Amino acid sequence: MARPREFDRDEALDRATEIFWDRGYAATSTDDLRDAMGIGRQSLYNAFGGKRQLYMEVLARYQVNSVEAHLQRLQKPESALEGIRALLRGLAAGDDRVRSMGCFGVGAVAEFGSKDSELSDMSAKTRTLLMQRLEGRLREGQRQGEIKPDLDAGELARFVMLSMTGLQVAARAGADVQGMHQMADFAVALIKSD
């Protein structure tokens, strides 16, 4: 008869997320994961299938939560322009340690590039969803007269996505909240209707 698991799966995934997010895939050993998660080697393999499967699970979980938070910030304000501002400003985590880790998803893309098709597909799905919602909100802002009407909403959405990536990399490089907010406001000013 199999022994029941002696650990909380969600808590173990949270700990694995933190270590992968901070160090990346290559710099994280199985022993690092076991120590952080507080589980034995066999439990790690039985419950998660190994380092690669665990990485993909925690990355997928992180992306779902991250995109949900992005979309909430984007959609919450009545003003589309303020939704874009909230989206960008929200990337500046108040916790210095969390902010210094940047974005786990951006870190994964930086580490693997397009060499890993499973990771690339996951990233593309996330990016597509966010792009669609951004484009819709930008069109709304153009209809409301808040956002420059002569610019293509798809190009504007790509600009906002690029700004997001830049802010997330800047966070990893040590940017502070105030500096990140200033850059977010600058990006919003560039798309604001005159």
At residue 194 the predicted structure's pLDDT band, cuts being 50, 70 and 90, is confident
* Rounded distance between C-alpha atoms, residue 192 and residue 182, angstroms: 15
Integer-rounded Cα radius of gyration of the chain: 19
CATH class of the domain defined by 60-191: mainly alpha
pLDDT band of residue 4 (cuts 50, 70, 90) is very low
Long-range contacts of 120-124 (CB under 8 A, 24+ apart): 122/56, 122/59, 122/60, 122/63, 123/63
Mean pLDDT of 85-102: 94
Q: pLDDT band at residue 1, thresholds of 50, 70 and 90? A: very low
Q: Which two tokens stand for residue 78?
A: 């009545």
Residues 6+ apart with CB under 8 A from 157: 131, 134, 135, 138
Please report the pLDDT score of residue 172 as a whole number: 93
How much is the average pLDDT of 81-92?
98
48: Cα within 13 Å, side-chain hemisphere: 27
Assessment of whether the complete model's pTM goes beyond 0.75: yes
